[in-house]
Structure 1
Amino acid sequence: MPDDLTAALEAVIAAAREHLAKVRAADGRVDDESVWRAYVSLNNSACVYDEIMRTRYDEVTPFDLEPLEAEEGEAEWAGTEVVDEAVEPDAEPTLVSVRQRRDYVVPSAVALQRAAERARDEVPDPEGDDQPVRGIGDAVLELLHSGDGTLRSLEIPELTPMDGIVVINEVGSGLDVTATSEGGEDVAFAVDAGDPVIGRLDERSFQDDHRKGGDDDREEG
């Protein structure tokens, strides 16, 4: 008949097998209750085994655990769980246009191009475009491509942000990119006079030195 230490070891093995089975059954599902309960059982059985080993033989195990209550995790989930109610779509959905502009000072075009080349090396173009980065426009586009596609990608030392503005208009029709010809890109940012502004956000950079420097240069000329 096995002693209590052997029985405790067998309990750890059984709990580990059960935990593995529950994890596989959950298949990545977050906060699965059965996985949590199996985890608690494995934790506590390991604690028992560790305690018996320590008291009987004055030996330790690799486990550094404290007993758990299954209800601890359940209470935490219950306090944070949010169930969204089903919302019916509007009969006539609203179409909005979000337009953003932010200006930048480029202290060094060469430094900016080098930053763009480093960004390309870190995030290669999936289409294998190996054309060199030529000029400021290419550099900025490369940075946007290598980042998340938003202006956050341009938050680098090689660009000094100036003022910006975000305007949200309710519009009657959406943008057709295919109808925007090269050289006529400004059309894509124009809205009808009757499209109301429903939101605006001003971004202040407070880069007074650049403004004053520009004014001084003009006065000296």
Structure 2
Amino acid sequence: MTDQHGELDAALERVIAAARAHLAAVRAAEGRIDDDNVWQAYVALNNASFAYDEQLLDAYGEVTPWDVESIDPDEADERFGGAEGVEATDPHPRVVSVRQRRDYRVPSVSALLRAAEAARREGIPEEDEPAPVEGVGEAVLELLQSGDGSLSALDVPELEPLDGVVMVSEVGTAVDLESFDDDDPVGPFQPAADDRLVGRLDEHPFLDLDEEHDHDHAH
């Protein structure tokens, strides 16, 4: 039993060390997407947690709250996109451009402003007083900035989504934001003459079945 205790302690220490290594990798990545070091540290933490859970189960019939499965490190490299140091040999000659638009209705201006001010308050120290959110447009921008920058940050009750569209194109050059004024609403989205539209996806808001039923009866 003493050996088993020692093995469990060692397994737990490996989990702690792997968790610290994962945190260090996350901090070093500074928000970079698909960072290889973060992925490798994630796999190591996952497998250390899995091993500890298995040993705890064998020793005491108990488990941790971690619902993980072992990840093969070699398969993990393939899932991430290939082994480190191997350069791709088939780059696409053009840039893929994704343009998206989605419109919203604002049922309550005051409710939207409150939601945006709450989001702004969460992003500053408690002792600081946030500036008030002035206007609907600023409120929407604040929700985007306080979230992850994607339109999913606008999936809030204070905004009612309307139709939207996503267009995927192949373009000759990537957008150069420095060549457009900050208040230019057209330039960054204006297609060039040699752009090739690959496809367009139309988005329609989900209509509640009860609302759809009432709408049909209204006609």
Specify the TM-score bucket, using the shorter chain as the normaliser: 0.5 to 0.7
Q: State which structure, 1 or 2, has the greater radius of gyration over its C-alpha atoms.
A: 1
Could you say what secondary structure the match of 2:99 adopts?
Answer: strand
Q: State the percentage of identical aligned residues.
A: 40
Query: Which position in structure 2 is the counterpart of 1:219?
Result: none
Alignment of 1:53-72 (within 5 A): 64-65=61-62
Structure 1 residues not aligned, in runs of 5+: 1-7, 48-63, 67-72, 210-221
Query: Which position in structure 1 is the counterpart of 2:101?
Result: 101
Residues 16 and 42 of structure 1 are in contact (CA less than 8 Å); yes or no, is this contact kept in structure 2? yes
- State the Cα distance separating 1:143 from its structure 2 match: 0.6
Structure 2 residues not aligned, in runs of 5+: 23-43, 212-219
Residues 98 and 166 of structure 1 are in contact (CA less than 8 Å); yes or no, is this contact kept in structure 2? yes
Query: Which position in structure 1 is the counterpart of 2:5?
Result: 13
**AA at the equivalent of 1:30:** L
Q: Normalising by the residue count of structure 1, what TM-score does the alignment of the two structures yield?
A: 0.63
Measured against aligned partners, the alpha-carbon deviations of 1:22-65 in whole angstroms (never above 9, x if no partner) come to 446655523547982x7655653x34xxxxxxxxxxxxxxxx44
Query: Which position in structure 2 is the counterpart of 1:194?
Result: 194
CA distance in 1: counterparts of 2:206 and 2:14, whole angstroms: 56
Root-mean-square deviation over aligned CA pairs: 3.6
**AA at the equivalent of 1:11:** D
Query: Which position in structure 2 is the counterpart of 1:212?
Result: none
Residues 19 and 39 of structure 1 are in contact (CA less than 8 Å); yes or no, is this contact kept in structure 2? no
Query: Which position in structure 1 is the counterpart of 2:168?
Result: 168
CA distance in 1: counterparts of 2:120 and 2:17, whole angstroms: 41
CA distance in 1: counterparts of 2:50 and 2:189, whole angstroms: 52
Query: Which position in structure 2 is the counterpart of 1:154?
Result: 154
Change (3 A) 1:152 1:33: closer
CA distance in 1: counterparts of 2:17 and 2:106, whole angstroms: 55
Q: Normalising by the residue count of structure 2, what TM-score does the alignment of the two structures yield?
A: 0.63
CA distance in 1: counterparts of 2:55 and 2:157, whole angstroms: 52
Change (3 A) 1:34 1:187: closer
Residues 123 and 146 of structure 1 are in contact (CA less than 8 Å); yes or no, is this contact kept in structure 2? yes
Measured against aligned partners, the alpha-carbon deviations of 1:86-114 in whole angstroms (never above 9, x if no partner) come to 56243554302211011111122222111
**AA at the equivalent of 1:114:** R
Count of equivalent residues = 173
**AA at the equivalent of 2:45:** V
**AA at the equivalent of 1:149:** G
